Amino acid sequence: MFEAGKANVIEQHWVEWMTYFNLNLWFDTWKTTVIELGFACEKTAVDVEVQGELVFLPGQKERIINVDKTDGTLDDTTGSTGGRPPMVFTAPDVAGGTTSVNKCGYKTTIICGSTVAGEPIPPHFQFKSTAKTNEGQRISVDWFGLCPRIRGKFGHAHTKTFPVTFGMNEKGGMNSIELQK
């Protein structure tokens, strides 16, 4: 006899939302937006080699990005945020071991992604800081200097290299201020 972990209400809402109508609405809205912003145009009879409904204009795939965030912790005890939580199966009649961890309250948010052209986006690390002013924030940047730089266009005329970036705020997460930066 197996028992599964608690139900994931958010996952259930995602499954209920993914109807044929909603998916078509989402993709039609995306298609209209990409055309209106000048990234692409609709496929015509001369675009026989193009797969799909849109033809991306030259250099535009490097300007469209998809990013996502994930939590990073040193003790792996806050794994319930971001993405799908793990489902744990247990057998109540079989003794299970325990995993001990040293809890540390430190966490950071890591933002990664790529362009439509397949170029990786330089990772961004958002750290927690209790400092009340920018001058009071402290971090050792030596680690960032050793990170490999990412090559890509990202809307520039030519390929360049970009460093890993970082920021700090009171919760170590993304907010409108950090996203604007």
**154-180: pLDDT as tens digits:** 778 888 999 988 888 877 777 788 777
Whether 45 and 68 map to the same domain: the answer is no
Whether 29 and 43 map to the same domain: the answer is yes
User: What is the DSSP secondary-structure string of 122-167?
Assistant: EEEEEEE---SSGGG-----HHHHHSPPEEE-TTSSS-EEE--EEE
Closest C-alpha among 52, 88, 84 to residue 68: 84
Whether 22 and 72 map to the same domain: the answer is no
Question: For residue range 77-87, what is the model confidence (pLDDT) as tens digits?
Answer: 555 454 545 44
Whether 43 and 121 map to the same domain: the answer is no
Q: Could you tell me the residue range of the domain that residue 20 belongs to?
A: 1-57
Domain count, the chain: 2
Residues 6+ positions from 81 with CB-CB distance below 8 Å: 71
Whether 42 and 88 map to the same domain: the answer is no
Whether 30 and 87 map to the same domain: the answer is no
Q: Which residue has the higher pLDDT, 108 or 161?
A: 161
Whether 86 and 105 map to the same domain: the answer is yes
Task: From 16, 40, 57, give the residue that closes a domain.
Answer: 57
Indicate the pTM of the whole model. Answer: 0.61
